[in-house]
Amino acid sequence: MSNAVRRKGGDEVEVFLGIGSNLQQPQQQVKRAFSALQALPDSRAARCSPLYLSPPMGPKEQPDYVNAVVRLVTRLAPHRLLQQMQAIERGQGRTREARWGPRTLDIDLLLYGDLVLDSPELQLPHPGIAQRAFVLYPLHDIAPDLTIPGLGTVAELITQVAAGDLVQIRQNA
So which residues are the catalytic ones?
A: 94, 103, 106, 108
d(CA 9, CA 7): 6
* C-alpha–C-alpha distance, residues 137 and 161, integer Å: 9
Do 65 and 53 contact (CB within 8 A), yes or no? yes
**What is the CA 58 to chain-centroid distance, rounded?**
17
Cα(47)–Cα(72) distance, integer angstroms:
7
Q: Strands 65-74 and 147-148: what pairing?
A: unpaired
> Per DSSP, which regions of 23-115 are E strands?
43-48, 52-54, 65-74, 106-112
